[in-house]
Amino acid sequence: MRILLVEDDKVLANTLAEILEKKGYETTICYNYMQAYHKIEHAFDCFLLDQILPDGNGLDLCRLIREKSASPILIISSDTAESSILKGFALEAGDYIEKPFRLNVFLAKIESVLRRSGKLDKEITIGDFRLSTELKILSAPNQDISLTVTESAILETIFRFFPHIASRQQITRNIFDRTNKITSAQTLNVRLSELRKKLGIHSSHLEAIPNSGLRWKE
């Protein structure tokens, strides 16, 4: 699991990163808004954002991240005003951590949002279809379909965004996260064509939305 931690207090950031690493989370630290701005283009499984930064606001980062990623976001702040907390939730933050916080609560909230988002799940189910991201198998009615790493990454992104649309950028970012390979628009079209052939009679569930992305249709 990859976590982006944005915290301007370097002592706190380094301490949290060390604890997260011991818990098995690969953690990247940003100490200000601009560092984070350039990092959010990369794929992360969870974002921890300090609300008050020396050169910007964590809520603005939250808005930018949500345009690109469905990964859970936690806002960390000493600002306990109701308006600030509600604004974070309006921007689809998964939870709000008030400073000062207890470490066990901090870790529990991270695990909670990861579980709710399905990030800790190795299987994702939509209706009669079950995707095993570990085995790379899509179980369909009366049929198990073996997938390549890339095909599994494509379906994983679309399934995690269900019932919403997964953009092509979000799909290619997940492919990169799973394969460490950059996928061009042309290559993605080829992989989608191959995936549709594998899906056979179930390919109608993979719906392309012009100028937007793809979604799974029940």
SS3 string of 181-215?
A: CCCCHHHHHHHHHHHHHHHHHHHHHEEEECCCEEE
The residues, any chain, with a CB within 8 Å of residue 109's CB and separated by 6 or more, are 74, 95, 97
Alpha-carbon gap, residue 75 to 184, rounded angstroms: 33
Instruction: Identify the pLDDT of residue 58.
Output: 93
Instruction: Identify the pLDDT of residue 173.
Output: 82
Instruction: Give residue 121's Cα distance to chain centre.
Output: 13
The residues, any chain, with a CB within 8 Å of residue 67's CB and separated by 6 or more, are none
Instruction: Identify the pLDDT of residue 118.
Output: 72
Buried b (16+ CB within 10 A) or exposed e, 142-157: eeebebeebbbbbbbb
Instruction: Identify the pLDDT of residue 192.
Output: 97
User: Over its length of 218 residues, how does the chain's per-residue pLDDT go in tens digits?
Assistant: 789 999 999 999 999 999 999 888 889 999 999 999 999 888 788 999 999 999 999 999 999 998 888 889 999 988 877 887 888 888 888 899 999 899 999 999 998 898 887 777 678 889 999 999 888 999 999 899 999 999 999 999 999 888 889 899 889 988 987 887 889 999 999 999 999 999 999 999 999 999 899 999 98
Q: Measured between alpha carbons, how far is residue 152 from residues 18, 51, 94, 155, 174 in Å?
A: 32, 35, 25, 5, 10
Alpha-carbon gap, residue 127 to 140, rounded angstroms: 10
Amino acid identity at 41: E
Asked if 77 and 98 touch (Cβ cutoff 8 Å), the reply is: yes
List strand residue ranges (DSSP E) for 21-161, in order: 26-30, 46-50, 52-53, 56-57, 73-77, 95-98, 123-126, 129-132, 137-140, 143-146
The DSSP annotation for 38-78 comes to HHTTS--SEEEEESEETTEEHHHHHHHHHHH--S-EEEEES
Bridge partners, residue 52, by sequence = 57
Alpha-carbon gap, residue 3 to 21, rounded angstroms: 10
Instruction: Identify the pLDDT of residue 13.
Output: 96
Q: Domain 123-216 class?
A: mainly alpha
- The answer regarding whether domain 2-117 maps to CATH 3.40.1410.10 reads no
Alpha-carbon gap, residue 136 to 182, rounded angstroms: 20
Ordered by start, the domain boundaries in the chain are 2-117, 123-216
Phi, psi of 72 (to 5 degrees): -65, 150
Under DSSP, the state recorded for 165 is P
pTM above 0.75, yes or no: no
2-117 and 123-216 have identical folds: no
